[in-house]
Chain A
């Protein structure tokens, strides 16, 4: 069964706008990761946030984590056409990673 559920399933925005996607999970975690997948390619790691962190930044990416609500959000600021991809959250388990079903982001030029 899937641990993470991303919301929305699909998102379409104009270039320059911000994109926000959310991930909810079911059990307690040690860390949560976000990955990007371009069409026809493997996943690429974006950012890892540990359970004792509330917010983390990497370039145009901002990730928040609320362990009390078992949820995380990924914000992409000033989006570009190259940000068009699917985005997945992944939570840790004993020697395992558990992925959500992903958000498909389309950035229109």
Chain B
């Protein structure tokens, strides 16, 4: 099925650990993005990419790293997990950034102890 696939769906980490959240899309979308969703805060943009090899920071990039080596994949790395990074993370893609509808994955629920 075409769409955005995020793995894992759930993860528990200890403070200071690192991990990578995976995101893949099979719609040949140029634009991909990562958001975090916290209660009462809506979605906040962490990083985005307008194509392979091109990434940029969003509203809340600190503590996160991204790369885009292929059109299909856009992993999000937590360098040293902190309790403040406990959140639900969503990956999304669209044909063109800012002007076209986004397709979202079902999220990764991350808890940092």
Binding site for B on A (CB under 8 A): 1-2, 4, 30-31, 33, 35, 40-45, 48, 88, 90, 92-102
Contact across chains for A45 and B97 when beta carbons are under 8 A apart:
no
Chain B neighbourhood of A41, CB < 8 A:
106-107
Alpha-carbon separation in the docked complex, A92 to B94 (Å): 13
- Nearest CB in chain B to that of A47: its residue: B101
Nearest B residue to A9 via CB reads: B40
Contact check, A97 vs B45: say whether CB atoms are below 8 A apart.
yes
* B74 is an interface residue with CB less than 8 A from chain A: no
Tell me if B66 counts as interface (CB < 8 A to partner A): no
In terms of DSSP, what is the predominant structure of the interface of chain A? strand
Measured in the bound complex, the distance between the Cα atoms of B94 and A35 in whole Å is 14
> Can you sample 21 A-B contacts with CB below 8 Å?
A1-B59, A2-B42, A30-B99, A31-B99, A33-B101, A43-B43, A43-B92, A43-B102, A43-B104, A88-B43, A90-B102, A92-B99, A93-B98, A95-B48, A95-B97, A96-B58, A96-B97, A97-B45, A99-B35, A99-B42, A101-B42
Chain A residue at minimum C-beta to C-beta distance from B107: A42
A97 touching B50, Cβ below 8 Å: no
Interface residues of B in 44-68 (CB under 8 A from A): 44-45, 48, 50, 56, 58-59
- B-side contacts of A40, CB under 8 Å: 106-107
Given A88-B43, A95-B50, A99-B43, CB of A42 within 8 Å of CB of B101: no
- B101 contacts A96, CB within 8 Å? no
In the bound assembly, the distance between CA atoms of A45 and B100 in angstroms comes to 10
